[in-house]
Amino acid sequence: MQRLGASKASLSSVSSQELWQRSGRLDKGRSSELLRFEDRKGTKYLLSPTHEEEITTIVANAVQSYKQLPLRLYQVSRKYRDEPRPRQGLLRGREFLMKDLYTFDATEQQARQTYEEVRKAYVAFLEELRLPYLTARADSGNMGGDLSHEYHFASPHGEDTIISCTACDYSINEELYVGRYIPERTKGPQSSAKPAVERYVSKDRKTLCKIYFPANHGEPNLYAVKAVFPDVDSSIQGEQALVEHAEQSNRTVISFLDPRLSRESMNETAQTVPEEPKSPPRTPTVDEHPILLTKAKEGDSCASCRDGKLKLQQAVEIGHTFHLGQRYSVPFEASILDANNKQVAIEMGCHGIGVSRLIGAAASLLADRKGLNWPLAISPFQVILVPAAKVEPAELEGIYDSLVANHDKEQVMDVAIDDRDKPVGWKLNDADLVGYPFIVVLGKSWKDRRVFELQCRRLDLKTEVDANNLVGVILECGAKL
């Protein structure tokens, strides 16, 4: 955040419901997750799950000219959400620690440039962790705006599915995926396969939407259905959709045929479906291009390049960047005089990293049967000194000082000393459990030959190192963690 020129701020954990009413988020989207309460005077508040309303109000009162922009404000604070399904402690909880960055620019072009700068900063941060991560285009949801990216750790514990290409940089959250139909590259169903049908109903229950898709190609893709039938009630499908639709007067039926199917095959299926519409089924299209009505499968052809195949990975979301545009600046009247002396709304962005979720995800990714294994960049201590023989306190402190002082300031080393009155075996087991990247043992070799035993479980390393080379060996090994 400092490299982006951001200034640190601190916003309240208590927010006014009136502000959220003004932005339109109080009773929309994920409003059921808001923790609401009243004070003794009956004034309505909530525990802040995020701070777009507050920060926009502050900036609206403090910034009047384009000369005061760009402005970048960040905080690391606690957030609160009434999660319906808290999971694995830190991965998803009702209280969590988060890093937010709010950006303010005079023009959309400048705001999008800022967005790309923040994306690069996030990627640089993830590179330092040296963990398998993914970036993907994502749905902006209740936050607003038309451009957003998620940042994930690839993990079997993840609730998101990221679809990426083996040959190009295409990557997208499954929630946004709609497959394009390319006749020369898209596999059709087997000749013996029969089409399947699924039914959906509109929110007013007056329109029944039927989709026909290859039965041998998996499940229907609700996001593709939304693309061609935006008014769909995503909570109702199948026989229940039929029941809801049948109770309405002036009801209509529309249908869509996956482009991999022939109309003849659909007609065979239609013979057993009495509610079939009289009009022929439509080819589903987005921007005049035919789309597939099924979910992506491992090995499907990538529509963005000629040679790639789709790869599906489970992932844990640990960050999200949003280009908000004027989503909050307009309702909160956050405007400036631009270079032409005209009053214009400020362009905004918000960018977050879930700090506590990142810690939980990293722990679950690297832990083994012996304990935790922290990435070097975020380990509380990189090295622990474990005296296994009698070592004088002054001597132990001298070794500590040599580790923390004799190297480049960009590679600051955090060191701890285990001077507890416990057996050596207990200390070593505890060091493994805590997850120190490096364990330096001062045992018989140190007493006899002034040689340390250096251990690193992630690198499967256990070796002897003399005092003059210890710092260099740790730094060299650290570059691999």
- Residue 240: its pLDDT value, please? 92
What's the pTM value of the predicted model, to 2 decimals? Answer: 0.85
Contact 347, 107 (CB under 8 A): yes
pLDDT at 272 > cutoff 50: no
Model pLDDT for residues 75-130, shown as the tens digit of each residue: 999 999 998 888 777 888 999 999 999 999 999 999 999 999 999 999 999 999 99
Closest by Cα among 198, 225, 209, 207 to 291: 225
Estimate to the nearest angstrom the gap between the alpha carbon of 80 and the chain centroid: 18
pLDDT at 189 > cutoff 70: no
Q: Which residues contact 209 (CB under 8 A, 6 or more apart)?
A: 199, 200, 201, 202, 225, 229, 232, 253, 254, 255, 256
pLDDT at 276 > cutoff 50: no
pLDDT at 446 > cutoff 70: yes
How large a percentage of the chain has pLDDT more than 90? 72
Burial 292-330 (b: 16+ CB within 10 A, else e): bbbbbeeebbbbeeeebebbbbebbbbbbbbbbbbbbbe
Model pLDDT for residues 283-324, shown as the tens digit of each residue: 999 988 999 999 999 998 888 888 899 999 999 999 999 999
Q: Which residue has the higher pLDDT, 404 or 141?
A: 404
**How far apart are the C-alpha atoms of 376 and 327, rounded to whole Å?**
39
**Most confident of the following: 103-107, 178-182, 377-381:** 103-107
Looking at 414-461, list the stretches that DSSP marks H as alpha helix, in order from N- to C-terminal side. 424-434, 444-449
Please count the residues of the chain: 481
Model pLDDT for residues 150-179, shown as the tens digit of each residue: 999 999 888 899 999 999 989 999 988 999
- Residue 437: its pLDDT value, please? 96
pLDDT at 441 > cutoff 70: yes
pLDDT at 410 > cutoff 60: no
Closest by Cα among 69, 73, 148, 76 to 116: 148
Q: What is the mean pLDDT of residues 435-451?
A: 94
Q: Which domains does the chain have, with CATH numbers?
A: 7-176+311-364 (3.30.930.10), 195-290 (no CATH), 376-478 (3.40.50.800)
